[in-house]
Amino acid sequence: MSKQEFSNIYFDQVAVGDTLPQLEIEITPTLIVSTAIASRDYQDVHHDRVRAQELGSPDIFMNILTSNGLVGRYVTDWAGPEAILVSVNIRLGAPNYPGDTMVMSAEVTAKREEQGRYLVDLAVAGKNKLGVHVSGTVIVDLPNSAA
Protein backbone atom coordinates (compact mmCIF):
# COMPACT_ATOMS: atom_id res chain seq x y z
CA MET A 1 0.00 0.00 0.00
CA SER A 2 1.48 3.32 -0.99
CA LYS A 3 1.62 6.27 1.35
CA GLN A 4 -0.76 9.05 0.35
CA GLU A 5 0.87 12.46 0.20
CA PHE A 6 -0.98 15.43 1.59
CA SER A 7 0.06 18.96 0.81
CA ASN A 8 -0.83 22.19 2.51
CA ILE A 9 -2.46 25.27 1.09
CA TYR A 10 -0.67 28.31 2.48
CA PHE A 11 -2.26 31.63 3.37
CA ASP A 12 -0.25 33.54 0.76
CA GLN A 13 -1.45 31.12 -1.97
CA VAL A 14 -5.10 32.05 -1.46
CA ALA A 15 -6.96 35.09 -2.82
CA VAL A 16 -10.50 36.34 -2.29
CA GLY A 17 -12.59 35.00 -5.15
CA ASP A 18 -10.62 31.75 -5.52
CA THR A 19 -12.79 28.66 -5.88
CA LEU A 20 -12.03 25.25 -4.45
CA PRO A 21 -12.11 22.18 -6.69
CA GLN A 22 -15.51 20.53 -6.62
CA LEU A 23 -15.95 17.23 -4.82
CA GLU A 24 -18.62 14.70 -5.80
CA ILE A 25 -19.94 12.52 -2.98
CA GLU A 26 -22.15 9.54 -3.84
CA ILE A 27 -25.06 9.33 -1.41
CA THR A 28 -25.55 5.65 -0.62
CA PRO A 29 -27.75 3.93 1.96
CA THR A 30 -24.55 2.71 3.63
CA LEU A 31 -23.20 6.27 3.93
CA ILE A 32 -26.46 7.54 5.42
CA VAL A 33 -26.96 4.68 7.89
CA SER A 34 -23.35 4.22 9.00
CA THR A 35 -22.71 7.91 9.61
CA ALA A 36 -25.98 8.33 11.49
CA ILE A 37 -24.96 5.43 13.74
CA ALA A 38 -21.41 6.77 14.09
CA SER A 39 -22.81 10.11 15.25
CA ARG A 40 -25.22 8.34 17.64
CA ASP A 41 -28.27 9.59 15.76
CA TYR A 42 -30.66 6.66 16.02
CA GLN A 43 -33.68 8.46 14.55
CA ASP A 44 -35.52 5.93 12.43
CA VAL A 45 -35.70 8.28 9.41
CA HIS A 46 -31.94 7.76 8.96
CA HIS A 47 -32.03 3.95 8.78
CA ASP A 48 -35.59 2.62 8.35
CA ARG A 49 -37.02 3.23 4.86
CA VAL A 50 -40.53 2.05 5.79
CA ARG A 51 -40.72 4.33 8.83
CA ALA A 52 -39.30 7.28 6.87
CA GLN A 53 -42.02 6.74 4.26
CA GLU A 54 -44.71 6.50 6.96
CA LEU A 55 -43.55 9.93 8.11
CA GLY A 56 -43.83 11.38 4.59
CA SER A 57 -40.29 11.04 3.25
CA PRO A 58 -39.66 9.08 0.05
CA ASP A 59 -36.64 7.34 1.65
CA ILE A 60 -34.13 7.54 4.49
CA PHE A 61 -32.10 10.74 4.49
CA MET A 62 -28.76 12.08 5.72
CA ASN A 63 -28.52 13.65 9.16
CA ILE A 64 -27.04 17.09 9.88
CA LEU A 65 -23.99 15.72 11.71
CA THR A 66 -22.97 13.81 8.59
CA SER A 67 -23.48 16.90 6.44
CA ASN A 68 -21.34 18.89 8.88
CA GLY A 69 -18.63 16.25 8.79
CA LEU A 70 -18.61 16.16 4.99
CA VAL A 71 -18.23 19.96 4.87
CA GLY A 72 -15.26 19.69 7.25
CA ARG A 73 -13.72 16.88 5.21
CA TYR A 74 -14.12 18.86 1.99
CA VAL A 75 -12.34 21.91 3.42
CA THR A 76 -9.55 20.04 5.17
CA ASP A 77 -8.88 17.81 2.16
CA TRP A 78 -8.32 21.02 0.18
CA ALA A 79 -6.40 22.92 2.86
CA GLY A 80 -4.08 20.14 4.01
CA PRO A 81 -2.99 18.58 7.30
CA GLU A 82 -1.72 21.79 8.92
CA ALA A 83 -5.03 23.64 8.51
CA ILE A 84 -7.29 24.12 11.52
CA LEU A 85 -11.04 24.46 11.23
CA VAL A 86 -11.94 27.48 13.36
CA SER A 87 -15.65 27.65 12.65
CA VAL A 88 -18.22 25.68 10.66
CA ASN A 89 -21.62 27.34 10.40
CA ILE A 90 -24.05 25.45 8.17
CA ARG A 91 -27.73 25.18 7.40
CA LEU A 92 -29.61 22.40 5.66
CA GLY A 93 -31.89 22.66 2.66
CA ALA A 94 -32.96 19.84 0.34
CA PRO A 95 -32.53 16.33 1.81
CA ASN A 96 -29.77 13.96 0.67
CA TYR A 97 -31.46 10.72 -0.36
CA PRO A 98 -29.79 7.45 -1.44
CA GLY A 99 -28.94 7.24 -5.12
CA ASP A 100 -28.09 10.92 -5.49
CA THR A 101 -24.75 12.71 -5.71
CA MET A 102 -23.86 15.76 -3.65
CA VAL A 103 -21.42 18.14 -5.34
CA MET A 104 -19.43 20.26 -2.89
CA SER A 105 -18.09 23.66 -3.91
CA ALA A 106 -16.66 26.69 -2.13
CA GLU A 107 -15.32 30.17 -2.70
CA VAL A 108 -12.88 32.26 -0.67
CA THR A 109 -14.83 35.29 0.59
CA ALA A 110 -12.29 36.89 2.94
CA LYS A 111 -8.82 36.47 4.40
CA ARG A 112 -7.14 38.20 7.30
CA GLU A 113 -4.42 37.93 9.89
CA GLU A 114 -5.85 37.99 13.39
CA GLN A 115 -3.86 37.49 16.59
CA GLY A 116 -1.16 35.50 14.81
CA ARG A 117 -3.63 33.34 12.92
CA TYR A 118 -4.08 33.35 9.15
CA LEU A 119 -7.81 33.07 8.63
CA VAL A 120 -9.65 32.33 5.41
CA ASP A 121 -13.44 32.50 5.12
CA LEU A 122 -15.13 30.13 2.70
CA ALA A 123 -18.70 30.14 1.41
CA VAL A 124 -19.48 26.43 1.06
CA ALA A 125 -22.37 24.64 -0.65
CA GLY A 126 -23.30 21.03 -1.31
CA LYS A 127 -25.90 20.54 -4.04
CA ASN A 128 -27.87 17.51 -5.17
CA LYS A 129 -30.57 17.02 -7.83
CA LEU A 130 -33.18 18.61 -5.52
CA GLY A 131 -31.14 21.77 -4.89
CA VAL A 132 -28.83 22.99 -2.15
CA HIS A 133 -28.49 20.36 0.58
CA VAL A 134 -26.03 22.23 2.79
CA SER A 135 -24.68 25.78 2.72
CA GLY A 136 -22.76 27.98 5.06
CA THR A 137 -19.50 29.53 6.07
CA VAL A 138 -16.28 27.86 7.15
CA ILE A 139 -13.35 29.72 8.69
CA VAL A 140 -10.03 27.92 8.37
CA ASP A 141 -6.64 28.86 9.87
CA LEU A 142 -3.95 28.16 7.27
CA PRO A 143 -0.18 27.95 7.71
CA ASN A 144 1.50 31.24 6.76
CA SER A 145 4.02 30.22 4.13
CA ALA A 146 5.78 27.34 2.43
CA ALA A 147 9.12 28.53 3.83
Tens of pLDDT along 97-133?
999 999 999 999 999 999 999 999 999 999 999 999 9
Residue extents of the structural domains in the chain: 11-141
What number of H helices and E strands is found in the chain? 3, 5
Contacts of 4 (CB under 8 A, 6+ apart): none
Q: Quick one: how far is CA 52 from the chain centroid?
A: 24
Q: What is the pLDDT of residues 18-56, one digit of tens each?
A: 999 999 999 999 999 999 999 997 888 889 899 999 999
Question: Taking the domain 11-141, which CATH number applies?
Answer: 3.10.129.10
Instruction: Identify the pLDDT of residue 45.
Output: 84
SS3 content of the chain, % helix, strand, coil (to 5): 25, 35, 40
CA atoms within 13 A on the CB side of 37: 8
Burial 58-72 (b: 16+ CB within 10 A, else e): eebbbbeebbbebbb
